[in-house]
Structure 1
Amino acid sequence: MSCSKVLVTGASGFVGSAVVARLLLSDKFSVVCCVRDLSQASFPCEHIFFELGGGLPATALVGVTTVVHAAARVHVMSVQGADELGAFRAVNVTGTIRLAADAAQAGVKRFIFISSIKVNGENTHSGRPFTSFDLPAPVDAYGISKWEAECALRDLGARTGMEVVIIRPPLVYGPGVKANFLSMLRWVERGVPLPFGSLTNRRSVVALDNLSDVIVRCIEHPAAPGNTFLVSDGEDISTAQLLQRVARALGVRSALVPCPQIVLFAGLALMGRRALFRRLCGSLQVDMRRTCELLEWTPPVGIDQALAGVAKHYLDTKTK
């Protein structure tokens, strides 16, 4: 039986490695992993050095039918202002289009771009979740660069005939998660009192298993080309509920303390962390019904099951 050859960029990263692992579970795919450090070549398949913006070796795309582009520049706190946007554009826009143009020229059939819900915006209003048909409203440099890359990819696809698929996930969590989610795990596990007990916001999140599952589904599904897909776990929860369920997964008591939002806002504003207030206290919901209908897909993993996996990995690997 012939295999579809799939090239995955960012294959040593959080999302890319999960996609590769899922692809290797099936005998339907052969995989090429693109990584920035060949010492991280941990999968039993071909590995190629790739730094976004630097291009691929001429032979890398030979025989490839699908590219899953998970590599990206994410938030770098030391670069701000106009230089920040330029840095994001150089990698997430220029680098992406160079890769896509090379893929189209090599005869790649489908290009799957892992974008971000930040293209839609930062927050939603009650009862009005984001949809794939909303007018984009990115706020920060990262979101703007992802939107510009989406536009350029659609134009390239229209000119070359290469099928373009765009996926916009919200917050992604899973075993080995870093950044704010890891900090939250540490706070909860240590029993740090957290002033979020009164929050009733609604947020969509997506487990790494669910995101990688829908990405792999987009590789072959006939309804995927030309579409933008929003994805989540299918259950929206408040920040307070998320912390409570994390505590349960870790086997500890929740230490949530009720606190008025105006007090939270004032405290974080004094620390220069207004964006953090928006992420913790604001709502961000996505409507993924169209994703489920077109791809005939439902999330295979629920939030509590996914959090159990996150908690186990955290407890097994944390520094004593």
Structure 2
Amino acid sequence: MKLAVLGAAGFIGQRIVTLLRAHGGYAVVPVTRRTTGAIAHMVEADARDEQSVTRVLQGCEAVIVSIAGSADMIEDIVAPIYSASEKAGVSRIIYLSTGVVHGQAPDYGTDESSMLRHVQPFAYNLAKIRAEECLAAMRRGGDVEVVILRPTVVYGPGSRWTQGFADDLYADVVTVFDRGQGICNAVYIDNLVHAIEQALHAKLAPCQAFLINDKASVRWRDLQEPVARALGIDFDQLPHLSSEEVLARYSGPLSGRRIPNWIRQIKQRIVRDHAWSEAAYEQALLQSCRYQLPIAKAEKILGYSPPVSFEDGLRRSVASLNIPARRGLPI
């Protein structure tokens, strides 16, 4: 099968290309806006330019969309990619969305049949919702099949959730919420690629979405503590906050209020110049989650069966950390 991977230079895109090439049976065309040395035989195309995308999709049976970017970028690429796929004769689009279309902390009982959460404070989440809706609408009037995958926390060697967390620990800018007891809807990168491969071949209704997680129920502490330990840091000694308090205090303006000492103490930890950043609020929400998104639909219809356990995926991630001691820097 010949297929294209759009966004092939990113963390997820690179691994998709690497694994599918290794598995055999695929002629993989890695596509990025600007070629880099990260992947061999990279092809340039601007995903917002229908003509450019049509050119690189010639002869492809499928296209995997793994493009990161701004909210505007996420929305702007969908229609050109679908139209280009039709013109190039592509049969199926695999679109990587995100579980946060259901919110950072989804309600208990949420699954693929649940309404998407259109009232959210994050532009990225809303853009993914609109992108999904655009794809569904175009599929209703078009010939190209669409499969939407919704992973949330995609971890693995070099990911923002492991390497990024290590970098933040070294920079002393980490705050942990609820002592890491919240549910982390995590999926190891190779398990996500497995889901993609299953989605390439499954017999499906016209447009379907699938939540993708590891099988194990994982807490944020389970993901973060081994990374801290690798740097010689005691996870329990990190700054810890209650997500409930943070979210309650973020819900309205702080001006005119007496700011408690504990807030003053974390102002510089959360962001150097801003007491309450969107990133801190987003993390508080994400780590306040108490519900594991189900993968039953993906298991039943796609035949999804995560090949890498959480323990093994985390071990690989920690073993690959580029930690300060290995860079020759003081800890």
Within a 5 Å distance, the mapping from 1:118-133 to structure 2 comes to: 118-125=100-107, 128-133=108-113
Deviation of residue 21 (structure 1)? Answer: 0.9
**Deviation by residue 1:117-149 (Cα, 9 ceiling, x = unmatched):** 121112134xx1531111000421111111111
Aligned length: 297
**Paired amino acid for 1:63:** G
User: Hey, what does 1:244 align to over in structure 2?
Assistant: 225
Q: Unaligned regions of 5+ residues in structure 1, if any?
A: 75-87
User: Hey, what does 1:5 align to over in structure 2?
Assistant: 2
* SS of the residue 2:235 aligns to: coil
* Distance in 1 between residues matched to 2:282 and 2:158, nearest whole Å: 24
- Over 3 Å counting, the alpha-carbon distance change for 1:260 and 1:13 in structure 2 is closer
**Deviation by residue 1:177-229 (Cα, 9 ceiling, x = unmatched):** 13x54342246689999665744322211111111111111111223752101
Q: Kindly indicate whether the alpha-carbon contact (under 8 Å) linking 1:196 and 1:256 is maintained by their aligned counterparts in 2.
A: no
Q: Kindly indicate whether the alpha-carbon contact (under 8 Å) linking 1:24 and 1:30 is maintained by their aligned counterparts in 2.
A: yes
Deviation of residue 20 (structure 1)? Answer: 0.8
* SS of the residue 1:24 aligns to: helix
* SS of the residue 2:42 aligns to: strand
* Distance in 2 between residues matched to 1:199 and 1:6, nearest whole Å: 40
- Over 3 Å counting, the alpha-carbon distance change for 1:189 and 1:312 in structure 2 is farther
User: Hey, what does 1:51 align to over in structure 2?
Assistant: 46
* Distance in 1 between residues matched to 2:194 and 2:205, nearest whole Å: 14
- Over 3 Å counting, the alpha-carbon distance change for 1:247 and 1:295 in structure 2 is same
**Paired amino acid for 1:274:** Y
* SS of the residue 2:236 aligns to: coil
- Structure 2 residue aligned with 1:66, among 62, 65, 83? 62
- Structure 2 residue aligned with 1:283, among 282, 290, 307? 290
Deviation of residue 263 (structure 1)? Answer: 9.1
- Structure 1 residue aligned with 2:27, among 30, 38, 44? 30
- Over 3 Å counting, the alpha-carbon distance change for 1:197 and 1:166 in structure 2 is closer
* Distance in 2 between residues matched to 1:296 and 1:160, nearest whole Å: 26
Q: Kindly indicate whether the alpha-carbon contact (under 8 Å) linking 2:97 and 2:148 is maintained by their aligned counterparts in 1.
A: yes
Deviation of residue 12 (structure 1)? Answer: 1.0
User: Hey, what does 1:115 align to over in structure 2?
Assistant: 97
* Distance in 1 between residues matched to 2:245 and 2:17, nearest whole Å: 41
User: Hey, what does 2:271 align to over in structure 1?
Assistant: none
User: Hey, what does 1:302 align to over in structure 2?
Assistant: 309
Q: Is 1:256 the counterpart of 2:236 in the alignment?
A: yes
Q: Unaligned regions of 5+ residues in structure 2, if any?
A: 250-261, 268-274
Q: Is 1:135 the counterpart of 2:115 in the alignment?
A: yes
User: Hey, what does 1:202 align to over in structure 2?
Assistant: 183
- Over 3 Å counting, the alpha-carbon distance change for 1:237 and 1:188 in structure 2 is farther
User: Hey, what does 1:171 align to over in structure 2?
Assistant: 153
- Identity within the alignment, %: 22
- Structure 1 residue aligned with 2:132, among 134, 147, 150? 150
Deviation of residue 42 (structure 1)? Answer: 2.3
Deviation of residue 300 (structure 1)? Answer: 0.7
**Paired amino acid for 2:27:** S
Q: Is 1:293 the counterpart of 2:293 in the alignment?
A: no
- Structure 1 residue aligned with 2:39, among 38, 42, 58? 42
- Over 3 Å counting, the alpha-carbon distance change for 1:219 and 1:48 in structure 2 is same
* Distance in 2 between residues matched to 1:135 and 1:316, nearest whole Å: 41
* SS of the residue 2:77 aligns to: helix
TM-score, structure 2 normalization: 0.79
* Distance in 1 between residues matched to 2:199 and 2:24, nearest whole Å: 17
Q: Kindly indicate whether the alpha-carbon contact (under 8 Å) linking 2:78 and 2:134 is maintained by their aligned counterparts in 1.
A: no
**Deviation by residue 1:16-46 (Cα, 9 ceiling, x = unmatched):** 1111111101331101110122233522xx4
TM-score, structure 1 normalization: 0.82
